[in-house]
Structure 1
Amino acid sequence: MGLIKHSSATRNLMIIWYHQKNVAPDVLRQMKIYLRKNFNYSCVFNNKEDLITYLASDLVIKQIVFIISNDDEKETLAVERLVKRRGQFRGLYRLELGKYNLSACSNITEVRFIIEKMVNEIINDLQKTQQSVESSEHMNDNKETVIDTSTPVFDTFKSVSAQTTFCNLSNESLKFLLFQALTELMVRTEYNKEDFELMWNLCHQEYMKDEVEAKKIRTFAKEYKPEKAIKYYTQDSCFFRLVNQAFRLEDFNSIFRFGCYIADLHDQIEKLGREQRQNGSKNGKTYYRGKPYSIDVIQQFKDSIGHLIALNGLLSTTDNYMTSTVFAGMGETQDDYQSVIFEFNIDSSTTGLIRPYANINGSSACQDEEEVLFFMGFVWKIESMKKIGNNDWYIVLQSCTDYNPELITYIEQARCHCPYMTVGNILQELGDHASATNFYQRMLLDETLSDKTRISVYCNIAALAEDQGRYFDAVNYLIQAQNFIKSTALQNSEVPAQPKPLFAHNIAPSQLNLFNNMARAYMKAEKYQSARKYFEDALQQKGSNIERATVLNNYGLLEYTCRNIEQAEKYFQQAVELAKNDACCSEFKHNLQLIGNHVLKETKMVDAEPKPAQ
């Protein structure tokens, strides 16, 4: 996926998207992908009161662009008046969803087109009003080269229900879960000589145009020893820069390629930290870190107060407060950046710290520095944040031992069930189709993979193909999945209606689900007769009420597309009756209401026609 190189016109700017509650999951997913790819920070609201509360808070960000998607013109005008009063107001755009509010959008290509058109319009407008573009970009790009080199990206996890779906999570929460799953995958994988060879080859390839650094990589490969992992990381070397670059750019394939080294680093930090605590190190400790951050990132920290955060790379800290102020650049003029001092509080007397940390002074390449290194994915809770000067901030964090219960469930299940699958699923939700496919394909190479898991992998690859508009490829992958379904699977329908709950692991699709997905793919490929056949086949299979309701709802969407209004209403009605109080029922009811409006209007038109004379 990698870090998106956003336009300089979007720097230190925030996007707020306010939408009505019945936006289709497919549309919601696509919008979040485009926001992430084009803007540094965005927030999504579907409740007017929540938006009012947020705007009334003490915001750090100075520029906000608003996007509104709402069919209610009266409410839209009220929200427009509200946001235009804000001092941070930079622009307002309407994203008309209209016909895309059915619970399963059949034309996702058109949705992408209207979203991309609007995003391009926003960026073009911002670029037109940007002043001194060349000089500003030159200064900021130079500064970012220094600032970002060793600054890990962070993501936030906000409390959710175990039944929350991926599409309802923010991009930040998704990436938080992604790095937790990726960390589990890397530190628990058993590596061999071939894995290290692939890593060194990757490094060597990076320095093809630099014979000096390439030679250093060859030397590293010959002399590498697992017990010196910390020393390699703390050396100002080409290897150190490549590892940090992979984390900074969120290049998940490269991060995974470094997995064999990261696992060695984890083991050495864990062993060193355990020895230090056994030898009587203090149970409680405070550490500091100082860094300049852009205003949009500082706003993100402020929005995360009271929530869990995790830095996606390794975190270097010191117990010397004054040292942190130097690294933060306090008192210096930093253009669009402000100084941040972090206070990290550790209570190591508890047993809930999942990730290791240690004072690495004796193992570091820099022996004279009292550096404490925290392993990637270490979870913190932001306790408070205050301004201590014109452009200086002080953030207090506490090591998180009382994890959110749902997060504990997620991490523990990630340890036990298919971490490749978990990583692939989140990458898919974030719109990184290439990386997701790579992780799924790695699973298929495993000859010991169970049929149950292999079915799920093929279904996920099919979903990726469908999302990219390759509908016939999706059908072919689903056919391969069908070949692995055994007769016993037909009696055990385990999969809930789409979308799947966040914490559903190791669940194999049933025949009913496969037929439903094949019908959806054919419908999007505009092969409506084939779609009807597979919807009918799906309804002949055994399954739960909510599974059957999902098929009927999709069947209703097909009949609506084919202008069979009465038949569509029939299927929507049956879906609502079967779903009852399930979470999906509100979507089914919305579709029934929409189709009911069509039937009512058609009935009135028929009644209004002049009657023939008797």
Structure 2
Amino acid sequence: MGIKVSKSNLVFTNATYVLKPKTSLTKTTATVVETIEQNQEEITLVWLDVKPVVDQLIHREQKLREINDYCKFYYDQNSCIEYIHSSVNVKVFLVIPGSLANNILLKVHKLEQVDFVFIYCIERDRYLSLLNDYSKLVGIYTSENDLMKSIQNTIKLVEKRLITLNSYNHKQKSTRDLTTESGSFLFFQLFKDILMNMPQTNESKHEMIRKCRDYYCDNKKQLKNIELFNSTYQSIDAIQWYTNSNFPLYKLINKALRTEDINELFHFRFFIVDLSSNLFKTYKDYKKMNIKSPIVHLYRGTYLSIDELQKLKENVGNLISTNGFLSTSRCRMVATMFTDNAIFEIETDIRLKTVVFADVAQYSKFPDEQEVLFDIGAAFQIDSCVYDSNTDKKWIIKMTATDKGAELAKEYFEFQKKKVAESDIVLMFGHLLIEMGQHQKAQKYFENVLRQKPNDEEVACIYHNIGRAYRLKNEYERAIDNYNQSFQMHSIARPPRYLSAAKSLNGIGVVYNEIKAYDKALEYLIKALNMYQKSLQNEHIDIAGTLNNLGNAYRGKREFDIALEYLKRAQNINENILPHDHPNISRTYNNMGNIYYAKRDYQRALETYTKAITMNKKILPSDHPDITRCLKNLGLVHCNMKNYDQALNFFSKALEIVEKTYPQEHPCVTDIQQQIQIIKKYNEIS
């Protein structure tokens, strides 16, 4: 027989209770019956107890959700530990009873996802020694109110020190061919401009309000805050609302920014634009008053993992940005209050043209923190990353604010404008997502833009890009549908837009290549080539691209000589119109190597693959996918030439790269591991 308690979001079974939006308290004997919604909080509160008491749970739910909206209750320790082990990319705050403390701490203390542990019990003195043994143990509490206050203060500390870093590798000689990391760096260089180009409407405000109400639908305290915001908010109050720690808006926005969640960012675009505009206005006023003191020193305390510290050390001299608005302090002492193992020392200059920051202490509930907030897109050069073993006993990262991030964004925009024949920054941002490999995000982004009712030509381009995103997600039917929609709209325009229509035909041809329908691929690619040749000079990057695709189609049909002819034509165009170090040239060499390999002309394959990888090593970061691809191809050639030691060397280098990027079970890793095992067996036999 079930129990239901209305207006609660607490679900429990014989193992677990889950606090989440839009649910009620339900007792079952098996598993959780409702679907757990996405956690929009930065932190998951997990409360483990030995015995469930429904009345206590309801009371705790109300108090906990005022602190953090996503919570889980367990009274089976194995289920609790299993959940924590299975949680990825989350920060867990764990509350445990004293009777289970020794056992639980032993099992979870070293887990990366467990940030802090709190003990709630009657016999405090009995467990005091644990504070010396476990650094993540915050305290031992006999009062529930004291426990709640401690959790709240610790959450504030964690939220203050959260930071996501993106670097731009100096070896990435241009913005022509991006790694995911460098793409993320450019993401926020362009993002603000995208939002500023979108209309600021009441509907965008209502969309944001609906999102907040939906997530906090059972949280009475936050619903009151949301209604207050809805009825009183004015654009000039954006900074004040953002610094209001009691209001959930800053949490939702910061998480969306940190995770580059396109859907969520669209929901909050109304407020993000207002906040950026207010920061810029405040910054202009500050500049007028401080012309004679242009240099400003700021500080931020944080926690950095071993991997993050290594990343910073490797990127000294490179550019770096943070995901979203960066909170700093004028006071170094304040920064040390919010630090664990690292302090950023930042020097900025009001004479910079694109780096915007504002003193927001006057708007904050905590003016003594002397908070200074950087706007989205601020870029910094890493000057040094060293451990201070004398004074601070922490890592000190020195950075200087710079305009170079905005310059790179401009370079990227100009290059893409030539490459895709589009000059709309809103569409360009979607191209960036695709180049970053964020195909799902790109699809959602373009679908969101489509709902903004752009003009006819933009709609056709958006359908093309949605098709491209679906193709890269291997959803081929949807890709063809969207490419066709784009082609039809460009074709019936007056006058017809032949160049754009040809791009969509080329896209359909690529889809058929990928599903090995080579005759259909040739049909569409030849149509695309003919259409290009009507509207373009013979030597154009789009013509070279289609010739390359035709070469791949004929390779699929095993008509290798014809395939090589098309690839050579493509390469001639590339070499005549592109810089000598352009990635398209190395990729065409790689495709030509594939033909020679298929023809079992291993010597020519080796020579061509070597040309490709030599170019790639000069122009791309060492972990770029194109380098991995060349290493694998060289490994295959040497294996077929029975040069097993050299084959093993190339595959081992490829494995070293992919293991840094993908989990062990990913096909990119397992495929190379299998090749290495095969080569080792061949080596033993020979």
Same fold (TM over 0.5): yes
1:350-429 correspondence runs (5 A): 350=351, 352-389=352-389, 392-401=394-403, 405-410=407-412, 417-429=423-435
- CA drift of 1:595 comes to 2.7
Counterpart of 2:260 (choices 244, 250, 259) is: 250
Residue 466 (structure 1) aligned with residue 471 (structure 2): yes
Given the superposition, is the C-alpha separation of residues 353 and 256 from structure 1 closer, same or farther in structure 2, using an over 3 Å criterion?
farther
2:80 alignment counterpart: none
Question: Which residue in 1 is equivalent to 2:295?
Answer: 284
Note if contact 1:427-1:435 (Cα within 8 Å) is conserved in structure 2.
yes
Q: The residue matched to 1:300 in structure 2 has which SS?
A: helix
In the alignment, which residue of structure 2 is the partner of 1:484?
Answer: 489
Does the C-alpha gap of structure 1 residues 366 and 261 become closer, same or farther in structure 2, counting only changes over 3 Å?
A: same
Aligned to 1:556: 551
1:202 aligns with 2:211: yes
Q: Do the aligned partners of 2:175 and 2:411 also contact (CA within 8 Å) in 1?
A: no
Q: Give the CA deviation at 1:417.
A: 4.4
* 8 A contact 1:342–1:395 mirrored in 2: yes
Matching residue's letter, 1:421: L
2:646: which partner in 1?
A: none
Deviation at 1:289, TM superposition (A): 1.3
Aligned with 1:190: secondary structure?
coil
List aligned pairs for 1:299-338, cutoff 5 A. Answer: 299-329=310-340
Aligned mates of 1:413, 1:595 — CA distance in 2: 30
Residue 176 in structure 1 maps to residue 182 in structure 2: no
What is the CA-CA distance between 1:162 and the residue it aligns to? 8.1
Alpha-carbon spacing, 1:521–1:385, altered in 2? closer, same or farther (3 Å): same
**In the superposition, relative to structure 1, how do residues 132 and 463 fare at CA in structure 2: closer, same or farther (>3 Å)?**
farther
Q: In the alignment, is the contact (CA less than 8 A) between 1:556 and 1:567 conserved in 2?
A: yes
1:436 equivalent among 425, 439, 442: 442
> Matched residues in 2 for 1:566 and 1:139: separation?
55
Give secondary structure in 2 for the equivalent of 1:296. Answer: helix
Range moving further from structure 2, 533-542 or 131-140: 131-140
Alignment equivalent of 2:563, drawn from 557, 565, 568: 568
Distance change in 2, residues 1:489/1:559 (3 Å): farther
Task: Describe the SS at the equivalent of 1:346.
Answer: strand
TM-superposition CA deviations, 1:440-490 (whole Å, max 9, x none)? 123334545252x33332221111121122223222222222223359999
Superposed CA offset, 1:554-599 (max 9, x none): 2222222223334333433443444445443443344334434554
Match of 1:538 among 523, 528, 536: 528
For the residue of structure 2 that corresponds to 1:362, the secondary structure is: helix
Supply the distance in 2 between the matched residues of 1:529 and 1:169 (Cα, whole angstroms): 33
Q: Provide closer, same or farther for how the CA distance between residues 414 and 446 of structure 1 changes in structure 2, counting only shifts above 3 A.
A: farther
Tell me how far apart the structure 1 counterparts of residues 517 and 113 of structure 2 sit (CA, whole Å). Answer: 54
- In structure 2, the residue matched to 1:212 is 221
Question: What is the TM-score with the length of structure 1 in the denominator?
Answer: 0.65
1:261 is aligned to 2:271: yes
Amino acid at match of 1:400: T
Q: 1:277 to 1:531 in 2, by over 3 A?
A: closer
- The DSSP-based 3-state class of the residue aligned with 1:235 is coil
TM-superposed CA distance for 1:306, in Å, is: 1.1
Distance across 2 between alignment mates of 1:402 and 1:277: 20
Q: Identity across aligned pairs (percent)?
A: 25
**Could you give the per-residue CA deviations for residues 388-421 of structure 1, whole angstroms, max 9, x where no partner exists?**
0296111111120355744443478999943332
CA distance in 1 between partners of 2:453 and 2:487 (Å): 18
Deviation digits for residues 260-290 of structure 1, max 9, x if unmatched? Answer: 1122222222222222332346322211111
Once residues 387 and 467 of structure 2 are traced to their aligned partners in structure 1, the CA distance between those partners, rounded to angstroms, is: 49
| 2:338 alignment partner, SS class | helix
**Structure 1: gaps (5+ residues):** 1-122, 124-130, 330-338, 494-508, 603-614
Larger-Rg structure: 2
Which secondary structure does the structure 2 equivalent of 1:152 belong to? coil
The one of 235, 249, 273 equivalent to 1:239 is: 249
Q: Which residue of 2 aligns with 1:136?
A: 110
Paired amino acid for 1:157: Y
2:362 match: secondary structure? coil
Query: In terms of mean alpha carbon deviation, does 521-530 or 203-212 score higher?
Result: 521-530
Whether the 8 Å contact between 2:518 and 2:554 is mirrored in structure 1 is: no
Counterpart-to-counterpart distance in 2, 1:400 and 1:286: 14
1:389 is matched by which residue type in structure 2?
S
Structure 2 stretches lacking a partner, 5+ long: 1-87, 89-104, 117-135, 137-153, 603-686
Deviates more, 1:279-288 or 1:154-163: 154-163
Structure 1 segment 103-122 matched on structure 2, within 5 A: none
Following superposition, the deviation at residue 519 of structure 1 comes to 1.5
Choose from 335, 343, 346 the match for 2:345: 343
SS in 1 for 2:296: strand
Q: From the superposition, tell whether residues 169 and 485 of structure 1 become closer, same or farther in structure 2 (CA, over 3 Å).
A: same
Residues 132 and 248 of structure 1: is their aligned pair in 2 closer, same or farther, counting only changes over 3 Å?
farther
- Are residue 155 (structure 1) and residue 155 (structure 2) matched? no
Alpha-carbon spacing, 1:597–1:489, altered in 2? closer, same or farther (3 Å): farther
Contact 2:379 2:404 survives alignment (8 Å)? no
Partner SS, residue 306 of structure 1: coil
* Paired residues of 1:207 and 1:214 also in contact (CA < 8 A): yes
When the two chains are superposed, the root-mean-square deviation of aligned CA atoms in Å is 3.4
Cα displacement (A) at 1:345: 0.9
Residue 376 of structure 1 aligns with an amino acid whose one-letter code is I
Shift, 1:220, TM fit:
1.9
User: Which shifted more, 213-222 or 364-373?
Assistant: 364-373
User: Which structure would you say has the larger RCO, counting Cα contacts within 8 Å and 6 or more residues apart?
Assistant: 1
Aligned length: 444
Structure 1: how far apart are the matches of 2:482 and 2:475? Answer: 11
Q: 1:547 to 1:234 in 2, by over 3 A?
A: closer
TM-superposed CA distance for 1:341, in Å, is: 1.2
Partners of 1:159 and 1:255 in 2: how far apart? 29
Match for residue 27 of structure 1?
none
SS at match of 1:386: strand
Alpha-carbon spacing, 1:511–1:490, altered in 2? closer, same or farther (3 Å): farther
CA distance in 1, matches of 2:411, 2:599: 46
Quote the Cα distance in structure 2 between the aligned partners of 1:549 and 1:148: 51
Going from structure 1 to structure 2, the CA distance change for 1:377 and 1:133 (only over 3 Å counts) comes to farther
Deviations 1:527-552 (A, max 9, x none): 33222222332333314334334333
Q: Is the 8 A contact 2:240 2:364 kept in 1?
A: yes
